[in-house]
Amino acid sequence: MRNSACVIMAALALSAQPNRNQFQLSRVASHVSVTPSEVSIQVPTIRTPPPLPVLTAPDRWTITVKGPGHVKSPITPSKEPGYDPATGVITISVDKAGFGTTDPAKCTWSVSFRSDTGTLTAAQDPAISDDFALGAVNGSASGDPVVVTVRASGIPPAGTVVNDGSFWRVQVTDSDGNSRAVQPVDQAHYSFDSGFVTLRFPASKIGSIKRDNASWSAAFLPPDATLVSQAGSSGGGAVDQAKSRDDADLYLSGTYIAGVGTKPIWGIDAKAGYSAAPEKFPVLKWFVSRSPANLRFGIYGEMTTNPDTSAPVDRTQVDPDSISAYTTLFQTTRLPHNPVFYGMKWEVQPIGGEFSRMYPASNLISGGRIRFISVLANQKRWAADLIPSPGFEGGKNLNKPGTLFGRSVDLSSYDTIARLRLGADANFYLYRRVPKPGDAYAFTLNGSWVARVPFTAEPFTTTAYLPDPTDATTITRQQVVAMRKNTRHYVKIDAAWNITKLFGIQAEYKYGSLPPLFEFVSHQVSVGLLFKATYTGNHSVASPLP
Amino acid sequence: MLEKKKELDPDTCQDIVVDETPKPGKFRGPDQLLKDLGIIGDIEAEVHKAGIIKKLDGIGFAIEATDISSGPAINVGDCTASVLANAK
pLDDT digits (tens, 9 = 90+) for A229-247: 765 444 445 666 665 666 6
Determine the structural domain holding residue B80 and report its residue range.
10-86
Q: Does the beta-carbon distance from A343 to B23 stay under 8 Å?
A: no
Highest mean pLDDT (candidates A9-23, A44-58, A236-250): A44-58
Q: Is residue B23 part of a domain?
A: yes
Residue A524: name the closest of A154, A261, A182 by CA.
A261
Q: Is B62 exposed, middle or buried (0-12, 13-18, 19+ CB in 10 A)?
A: exposed
pLDDT at B78: 96
Report, as an integer, the average pLDDT of A426-434: 96
Residue B48 lies in a domain: yes
Is residue B19 assigned to a domain?
A: yes
Residue B16 lies in a domain: yes
Confidence check: pLDDT of A261 > 70: no
Q: Is 50 exceeded by the pLDDT of residue A454? A: yes
Among A31, A199, A332, A381, most B C-beta atoms within 10 A, so best to mutate, is A332
Mean pLDDT of A409-434: 93
Give me the number of domains chain B comprises. Answer: 1
User: Is the CB of residue A138 less than 8 Å away from at least one CB of chain B?
Assistant: yes
Q: Which of residues 235-274 of A touch B (CB under 8 A)?
A: 235, 242-243, 247
> Are A191 and B47 a contacting pair at CB < 8 A?
no
- The distance in angstroms from the start CA to the end CA of chain A is 38
Confidence of residue B50 (pLDDT cuts 50, 70, 90): very high
Considering A238-242, A305-309, A310-314, B42-46, the range whose residues carry the highest mean pLDDT is: B42-46
Question: What separation in angstroms does the CA of A430 have from each of A251, A443, B76?
Answer: 21, 5, 20
Please tell me if residue A102 touches chain B, with a CB cutoff of 8 Å.
Answer: no
DSSP structure string for A514-537: -TTTTB-EEEEEEEEEEEEEEESS
Tell me the per-residue pLDDT of A472-511, one tens digit each, with 9 for 90 and over: 788 888 888 889 999 999 999 999 998 887 788 989 999 9
Q: How far is the alpha carbon of B10 from chain A, nearest alpha carbon, in Å?
A: 6
Task: Fill in the amino acid letter for B54.
Answer: K
Q: Is residue B60 part of a domain?
A: yes
Cβ of A343 within 8 Å of Cβ of B50? The answer is: yes
- Which has the higher per-residue pLDDT, A117 or A495? A495
pLDDT digits (tens, 9 = 90+) for A77-99: 999 999 999 999 999 999 988 88
* C-beta atoms surrounding A483 within 10 Å: 16
Q: Helix, strand or coil for residue A424?
A: strand
- Interface contact flag, A385 B42, Cβ < 8 Å: no
Judge: B72–A431 Cβ closer than 8 Å, yes or no.
yes
* B4 falls within a domain: no
Does residue B29 form part of some domain?
yes
Residues 452-481 of A with CB under 8 A from B: none
Instruction: Say whether B36 and A378 touch across the interface (CB within 8 A).
Output: yes
Of A135, A334, A385, Cβ closest to residue B50: A334
Mean of the per-residue pLDDT values for chain A? 83
**Contact: A194, B7; criterion CB under 8 Å:** no
Kindly list the distances between the CA atom of residue A47 and the CA atoms of A25, A301, A355, B25, B30, in Å, as whole numbers in the listed order.
9, 50, 59, 14, 12
Ranges of H-type helices in A48-195: 52-55
User: Of the ranges A23-37, A281-295, A300-314, B25-39, which one carries the lowest mean pLDDT score?
Assistant: A300-314
Q: Place A305 in a pLDDT band, splitting at 50, 70 and 90.
A: low
Shortest CA distance from A129: residue in chain B: B31
Task: Determine the pLDDT at residue A520.
Answer: 82
Strand partners, A378: A383
Q: What is the reported pLDDT for A462?
A: 85
**pLDDT tens digits along A339-362:** 999 999 999 988 777 766 556 667
Q: Is the pLDDT of residue A74 over 80?
A: yes
Closest-approach residue (CA) in chain B for A440: B73
Q: Give the mutation candidate from B35, B64, B66, B80 for the A interface (greatest A CB count, under 10 A).
A: B35
Is the confidence metric ipTM above 0.85 for this complex? yes
- Give the separation between CA B52 and CA B63, rounded to whole angstroms: 9
Within 8 A of A375 by CB-CB distance, chain B residues are: 22-23, 38, 40, 44
> Model pTM?
0.84
Size of interface A-B (CB pairs under 8 A): 210
A392 close to A453: Cβ distance less than 8 angstroms: no
pLDDT at B3 over 70: no
Q: Which of residues 148-177 of A touch B (CB under 8 A)?
A: 149, 151-154
pLDDT at residue number A448 = 96
Residue B3 lies in a domain: no
